[in-house]
Structure 1
Amino acid sequence: MQPEEVMTLAYQGMRVALFLAGPIMLTTLATGLLISLFQAATQVNEMTLTFIPKILAVFAVLVLAGPWQLQVITTFTRKLFTEVPRMFS
C-alpha cells in the first residue's frame, strides 16, 4: 500500500465523517443559538428549555437527511470493501 493510497483513504474517510456529522452539528448549533437569543431577550434562564428544541431539530434533520446520509456511508463502505483486497496485494 502506497502512502498516497493511505492519504486518499484517510481524506475520503474524513470527508464522509464531515458529511454525516455536518448537518446534525449545524442544526444543533443554529438551534442552540436561537434558543440562547430567545433566553437573553426574555431573561428566561431555564436550562431544560434548550434540550427539547435541539432534540426535535436533530430528529427532523435525521428524518430529512437520513436517506442521503445512509447512501453516503453505504457507498463509502462498499468502495472500501471492494478496494481492500487490491490494497494488500
Structure 2
Amino acid sequence: MTPETVLTLARDALWLTLLLAAPLLLAALVVGVLVGVVQAATQINEMTLSFIPKLIALAAVLVAAGPWMLRTLVEYTRQLIESIPGLLN
C-alpha cells in the first residue's frame, strides 16, 4: 500500500464524514440561531429552551435524510471492502 493510497482513503473518509454530518450540523445551526434570536428579542434566558427545538430538528433531519445517509455510507463501505484485494498488491 503506497502513501498516496493511504492519503486517498483518508481524504475520502473525511469527505464522507463531512458530507454525512453536514445536514445535521446545518439544522442545529439554523435552529440554534433562530432560537437565539427569539431569546434575545424576548429576553428569555432559559438554557433548556434551545435544546428541545434542536432535538426536534435533528430528529426531523434524520427522518428525512437518514435513508440517503445510510445508502451513502453503505455504498462507501462496499467500495472500500471491494478495493481491499487491489490494495494489497
Per the TM superposition, whether the score is higher than 0.5 is: yes
- Aligned-CA RMSD value: 0.8
Tell me the equivalent position of 2:67. Answer: 67
Pairwise CA distance, 1:29: 0.9
Alignment length, in residue pairs? 89
What are the equivalent positions in structure 2 for 1:1-89 lying under 5 Å apart? Answer: 1-89=1-89
SS of residue in 2 equivalent to 1:45: coil
Query: How many percent of aligned residue pairs carry the same amino acid?
Result: 48
- Separation in structure 2 between the aligned mates of residue 77 and residue 12 of structure 1, nearest angstrom: 11
- Separation in structure 1 between the aligned mates of residue 83 and residue 19 of structure 2, nearest angstrom: 21
Specify every segment of 5 or more residues in structure 1 that has no aligned partner in the other structure, as ranges: none
The letter of the residue matching 1:60 is A
Pairwise CA distance, 1:48: 1.0
- Separation in structure 2 between the aligned mates of residue 81 and residue 23 of structure 1, nearest angstrom: 26
- Separation in structure 2 between the aligned mates of residue 5 and residue 20 of structure 1, nearest angstrom: 22
SS of residue in 2 equivalent to 1:44: coil
Taking structure 1 as the reference length, what is the TM-score of the superposition?
0.95
Superposed CA offset, 1:42-64 (max 9, x none): 00111111111000000000000
